[in-house]
Amino acid sequence: MLTLGLLGCSEPPALSAPSPEPQASFLWFEYQGMDEVFDAPLALDRYQNPVAAGFFPDPSITRKGQDYYMAVSSFAYTPGVPILHSRDLVNWQLLGHALTRPSQLDVAGARVSRGIFAPTLRYHDGLFYMITTLVDKGGNFFVTASDPAGPWSDPVWLPELDGIDPDIFFDDDGRVFIAHNGPPPGEPLYEGHRAIWLWEFDPKSQKIKADSGRIIVNGGVDLSKQPIWIEAPHLYKINGWYYLLCAEGGTADEHSEVVFRSHSLDLPFRPYKGNPILTQRDLDPARPAPITTAGHADIVQTPQGQWWAVFLATRAYAQRFYNSGRETFLLPVSWQDDWPHILPAGQAIDYRPQKPDGLANSPVDEALTGNFTWRDEFDQPSLSLHWSQLRDFSSHWWHIHKGKLLVKPQTGRLNSAESLSFIGRRQQHMHYRVSTALNLSSTGFSAGLTAFQNEQYHYYLGARRVAQGMQVFLEQAAGDDGQVIVTTLLEVPANGDINLAIEGDKDSIRFSYQLGEQAWQPLGGTFDGKLLSTQVAGGFVGTMLGVHSRLEPVEPGV
């Protein structure tokens, strides 16, 4: 209640208008991919590798009738475990995600390269199974669905499994087995010494059979040579043989795929003398447009009887640097003396191999490879499947209204592991450009574009209203908490929009802004793109390009 003074005030004092709620309005977002290796026209009998460009690592594949489905790792991004679909093995589209709600996935507080590791996707007897590891937050579990587009069940946890990269195998006698990477017997003999474990699983009780676990591979192909990081097991039964495919050598330049076999799951698995059956580590690193780090494969058979392998690899620049993460590639599998072969030793992965026989071309609406432009006008009630959040599923800080993505800033900054206002999509090309149009409701916060590899390695091209106008700034994190390295002050009307853009090309990255119909203006010069590479930043993810907003309670100087 307003009380008048006793000195004869004839009218109440004026009330100030309430301050607008801090909110950033993004009018659109556009991503353009412009890689030279994708430029030339694609012959009708050829397909493009990678089949899923960008951060689509650790692929696992299964088939139901004429349809193929893949699951890939998502780490701390939500929703978790992207599910991809294809009718011809070469044209893939993002179908949905297996982990879409907090009851399935808790990655709160996780650093970006923790969370979900290496799923396996299988179809059996009318049901899809996705089994994976949630690192630091519960371990191994599986979910099921009758439709891979979802919804998927809540997790069934498997606490007996000590390790990562679980695989589920349905034998033709009705028995079910789970293989995974785990600790070796006793103390490890060297750094990277791991083993592959096999357990029997009871599908009725949905539990591991007690005391059924045993080691089927110790160390790798040849323990005397101290192989490192045997992992990502996948079991198959083909023509009377049990085959075990595994990754070996770590996820960097020495990565490879190896194979073992046995006539019985109760007998030892023997390694193939021709291992590895896939690698690029024996090639000249100075070769043009190198594809590197190949391994972590899964195989599938077509209705025509052919076998094909999906696997991860990376497209590198400057011999061994890559910013876009580990991508999904496809190659045919041949058989020699009842052993599978993916690629002969010393042979480079082909960017444009021969298409699978007997599979009619089946184009998709939103391609995951080749050069393309992807634009979001925010004209749908929910976010596109291509957008990801980090660490949570919360939507209290964003909504879509009348063709705008409205984002409320939070205190979380890109260098923290707390909840933050961020959505991103994958960098899928070495040469790309992202841009957006932005409006800020008030002072006290910033918003803009980010190229985000992880908490300590990223760029943030932001704008904020200050007393003197609009300030555009560039923040760089280079192994630290980040610092503003470039600023400029603009005269922008109180309700005016500003356009922002980031353009990356291998090891270089540039930033620019635009007011109305004026020409684009650079902010600073050319900056170090290698900060966003896995070789510099570490971890297991690829760069995400997206929007970010945060509260800034103390108005910065200009």
Measured in degrees and rounded to the nearest 5, phi and psi for residue 299 equal: -125, 155
Cα 204-208-211 angle, rounded to 5 deg: 130
Q: Which of 35, 58, 376, 507 is catalytic?
A: 58
Listed residue (364, 432, 424, 324) closest to 48, CA to CA: 364
**What are the structure tokens assigned to 102, written together?**
């907090």
Q: Which of 35, 165, 167, 231 is catalytic?
A: 231
d(CA 504, CA 510): 6
Listed residue (547, 486, 552) closest to 522, CA to CA: 486
Helix %, strand %, coil % for the chain, to 5? Answer: 5, 45, 50
Residue 85: other Cβ atoms inside 10 A: 18
Provide the 8-state DSSP code for 129.
E
Listed residue (302, 290, 532) closest to 432, CA to CA: 532
Is residue 58 flagged as an active site residue?
A: yes
Residue 34 vs residues 53, 425, 457, 503, 532: alpha-carbon distances, Å: 12, 16, 24, 11, 18
- The DSSP bridge partners found for residue 36 are none
Q: Are the CB atoms for 549 and 340 separated by under 8 Å?
A: no
Collapsing DSSP to helix, strand or coil, 461 comes out as strand
Q: Are the CB atoms for 315 and 324 separated by under 8 Å?
A: yes
d(CA 180, CA 489): 55
Provide the 8-state DSSP code for 223.
G
d(CA 91, CA 460): 33
Residue 491: other Cβ atoms inside 10 A: 9
What amino acid positions are annotated as catalytic residues? Answer: 58, 231
